[in-house]
Chains A and B, each alone.
Chain A
Amino acid sequence: MSDTKDTTPDRELIESVWAEARDLVKRLEGSTVQRFAVAAGDYKIEIERGAPAMAAGGAGISVPTPPPPPLPGGPVATGAGPGMSIAPGARMASGVFTIGDLEQQDKRIPVLAPLVGTFYSSAQPGAKPFVEVGTSVELGQTVCIVEAMKMMNEVATGEGGKVAEILVENGDWVEFEQVLMYLEPADD
C-alpha cells in the first residue's frame, strides 16, 4: 500500500530558519539587497524583496518551484512549516507566500488560532476577559483560550502591542490560523 508518507520536518530547525529570515528582512530595510537565502540543515528559505508582485511594499518569501528533490533521508521545507505565521489571505500561488505581517501598509499584527477549537475570551465562564479592545499586551501574554477536546490551550501574543480589534465571539468555533484579533504595534 502506498498511502501517505509522513515526512516529518524538523520543526525547531524550520522555525529557527524562519526567525532568522524575518529578522534579516527587518534589518535590510532601506538597503539595496534584493535577494538572500537563509539555510540550515536541509531547510532553506529564499527571500526576494520588492518583487513586482508585491508592489504594495511587501516582501515575498519565494519558494523555488519546483521544489528541489528531497535529500536522502531529509525532507525539504517549501512552504508554511509548523508554527510559521502566514498572514490572512496569504496562499500558495506559484509557490510564493506573501508575508503580510512584515511590511503591510496595515501594520496591525494578527493573532492566529493555533488549532481548531472553541474560542474563549476568559479563563472561566463569567470571569473577566483576558483582553478587550484597547488593552496593552506584552510579548508572550495570554490573550484568549482555544479549547479542543477539553484541553485548554492558551494563546499568547508573538509581539507586544495594543488590542485593536477582536474578530470572534466567546464560544465561537475557530479553525487553524483563523485571525482571532489584531494588535496595533507598540512602537506606533
Chain B
Amino acid sequence: MSTRFDTRQDKVFDLVNILVLLGFATLTILPFLYVLAASFATEVEIASRPFFLWPNDPTLETYRYIFSTDTFIRSLLVTIGVTVVGTAVQITMTLLMAYPLADPNLVGRGLIMRLILFAMLFSGGMIPMFLVVKGLGLLDSYWALILPLAINPFNLIVIRTFFQQLPGELREAAEIDGAHEFTTFWRIMLPLSKPVIATFSLFYAVAIWNDFMSPLLYISDSSKWTLQMFVRQVTISTDPSTTIGNLDPNYIPPAEGLKFAVIVIATLPIMCIYPFLQKHFAKGVMIGSVKG
C-alpha cells in the first residue's frame, strides 16, 4: 500500500476508485436489503410489490413462527457448535500438513503433492464415501460433518504456497538458533501467516455452515439437524412437484415471507464473521522480520 500521494493524478484516481467500488458495493448490497425487507413483509405485499427496501406493513409474524419451533433453536446451536469445532479441526489439520510440504528438502514431497492433486480432481463419489463413513461408525455423529471434508486439497495447496513465500532466511535463522522444526512452525511461521489463517478459517467455516449434503446423508436423528436442513425443509414448498405430491387438495404452501426470513437467518450469522476477521488482514505484519 502506497504511503503518500498528493499529485492531481492520484487524487483523481482515488476518486474514481472510490466511486467504482461504492457502485459495486451498492449493487451487491441492495438485493440483500430487499430480502431483509421482504422477510418482515406480509404475503400480500410480497406478491404485489416487485422490489422494495422497506415494507409498508411490517410484520414479525414469520420470525415469530420460526423462533417458536424448537427445531430452529436447536439446529442453530448444533450448527454453531459443529462450525466452530469443525473449523478448528480442519484448519489445524490443513496447516499441519501444509507446513512440511512447504519445505523443499522434504523427502517424498513431490510424491505427496501429486497424490494430493490427483485426489483434488478425482473422486469416488457419494456411495463409496457413505460406505467409508459408515464403516468408521460415524453415521449419525457430528464427526461425519467434519472429518470427511477435513482437508480441502485446494486450500491445502494455496496455504502451502503462502508458506513457501515466507522468507527462507527466517527458517534458517531459527535453525541456527537451535530451534526445533515444530517450534519454528509455532512461534514464527504461524504468527506471520495470520491473514492466511484468517482467510482459510473463514473458507472452512462457511463451507461447513452451508453444507447440507453431509447432514442429509449421514444424520438420521432429527435432534442433530443442522440449520441448512431446517432451512431447506421450510422452503421446499416452492418446488411445484411437491405441491402435486401432496395429499390434501387444500394444501397451501408456506408463505413467501417465510422463504425470505429463512434466508436471512441462515446467512446472517456466517456473513458477520468476516468483519471480525478483517483486523487480521491489516498490513505490515512482517515489519522488522527481514532486517539484517
Chains A and B belong together in one complex: no
